[in-house]
Amino acid sequence: MEVIRTLQSPSESHPSPSAVVIGNFDGFHLGHQALIDEMHALATAGDLVPSMMCFEPLPATYFNPEQPIRRLLSVRDKALLAQTFGIKRLMMLRFNQSFAQLSPESFVREAIVQRAQAKHVIVGNDFRFGHQASGDLATMTELGQQYGFEVHGVGVVEHAGERISSTKLRALLAQGDLIGAERLLGRPYAISGRVLRGQQLGQTLGYATVNIRPPIPPALHGIFAVRVSSDRAGGPQQHPGVASLGYRPTVDGRDWLLEAHLFDYDGTLYGHHLCVEFVAFIRSEEKFGSLDEMVERMHEDARQAKQVLASNARH
């Protein structure tokens, strides 16, 4: 998969024509997948490169950094999922001041025509673009006629009569509703990342953990029953465990961290890229008066996680 981060391209570059789907794609939920399906159909019919255009950081976070959007996916996970969904050209464009100042026509000319070489553009019907979000689907359609590409608007995708959206997905995860989140995603919610070296505190307490830096800020927090898989041969696959995602207030933690304890596993996982699949919410994170109190609760968390995982064989 080709990954493009800027609007500028080498002068000798002549990218093949594409069908490009545009959006934030934080989550790759079923609504996003409907857009991607439409793009693939058009790409196949026209022998075009199946492409995706998204933006990092998320525009809403760029404009309001004091209240950043809670992330559903890290940048790496977004790229991995794009590849999984058959994207061959990923335009993950840096959203900065100069990009935000582009007029709708400049965005179309520089991003869609010159950089993507788009013949078909697929967006949601509510898509907005350009300076101060002044462009909409009608604007894009009009510019498409001017610059020689077709625009395809995709309507709302619903589940149980409610619109599927990243906002709804974040709300479900914040409530610990992993079953509801899975319905919108079409798959269990998961976070992946490279295992970091921690303070080894868990090992001294009898709960050795693997530590992963989550997308910041994450869309959920608390204690969870999980299943953990490694990207390496011989590593754990769908291995049961219990995980904490939060600030670790009892030990005065300051940064978000995902800590997963794998039941009955004694292998070394430093350097592995692990996928942590969230199966069930156990409780909210809390600050204990002592490490002894925390360990006592960790015993109960582990017991509950084992019970949930044993009764949830499909995960």
Tokens of 118: 């788009």
Residue type, 271: G
Contact between 6 and 93 under an 8 Å Cβ cutoff? The reply is yes
pLDDT of 294 above 90 = no
pLDDT (mean) for 311-315? 65
Q: How far apart are CA 128 and CA 219, in angstroms?
A: 24
How many residues are recorded in the chain? Answer: 315
276 burial (CB, 10 Å; 0-12 / 13-18 / 19+) is: buried
Residues of the chain with pLDDT > 90: what percent? Answer: 76
pLDDT of 270 above 90 = no
pLDDT of 19 above 50 = yes
- What is the band of 267 on the pLDDT scale with cuts at 50, 70, 90? confident
CATH number for the domain whose boundaries are 2-162: 3.40.50.620
pLDDT (mean) for 252-261? 82
pLDDT (mean) for 273-286? 94
Q: How far apart are CA 294 and CA 40, in angstroms?
A: 50
Q: Single out the residue of 18, 98, 26, 35 nearest to residue 55, CA to CA.
A: 26
107 burial (CB, 10 Å; 0-12 / 13-18 / 19+) is: buried
Give the model's pLDDT for residue 250. Answer: 54
pLDDT digits (tens, 9 = 90+) for 193-236: 999 876 555 555 557 889 999 988 899 999 999 999 999 888 89
3-state per-residue secondary structure call for the chain? CEEECCCCCCCCCCCCCEEEEECCCCCCCHHHHHHHHHHHHHHHHHCCEEEEEEEECCHHHHHCCCCCCCECCCHHHHHHHHHHCCCCEEEEEECCHHHHCCCHHHHHHHHHHHHCCEEEEEEECCCCECHHHCECHHHHHHHHHHHCCEEEEECCCEECCEECCHHHHHHHHHCCCHHHHHHHHCCCCEEEEECECCCCHHHHCCCCCEEECCCCCECCCEEEEEEEEECCCCCCCCEEEEEEEECCHHHCCCCCEEEEEECCCCCCCCCCEEEEEEEEEEECCCCCCCHHHHHHHHHHHHHHHHHHHHCCCCC
List the domain boundaries for the chain: 2-162, 189-310
pLDDT (mean) for 49-67? 95
- What is the band of 11 on the pLDDT scale with cuts at 50, 70, 90? low
Tokens of 257: 């961290």
Tokens of 2: 């080709």
pLDDT of 130 above 90 = yes
Burial state string for 287-311 with b = 16 or more CB within 10 A and e = fewer than 16: eeeeeeebeeebeebbebbeebbee
pLDDT of 315 above 50 = no
Same fold: 2-162 with 189-310: no
Q: Single out the residue of 135, 110, 109, 76 nearest to residue 6, CA to CA.
A: 110
Residue type, 110: E
pLDDT of 33 above 80 = yes
Give the model's pLDDT for residue 312. Answer: 79
Q: In terms of pLDDT, which residue wins out, 201 or 89?
A: 89
Give the model's pLDDT for residue 204. Answer: 54
Contact between 86 and 40 under an 8 Å Cβ cutoff? The reply is yes
Q: Single out the residue of 213, 203, 300 nearest to residue 256, CA to CA.
A: 213
pLDDT (mean) for 279-308? 89
CATH T-level fold of 189-310: Elongation Factor Tu (Ef-tu); domain 3 (2.40.30)
Q: How far apart are CA 31 and CA 158, in angstroms?
A: 8
pLDDT digits (tens, 9 = 90+) for 101-113: 999 999 999 999 9
- What is the band of 14 on the pLDDT scale with cuts at 50, 70, 90? low
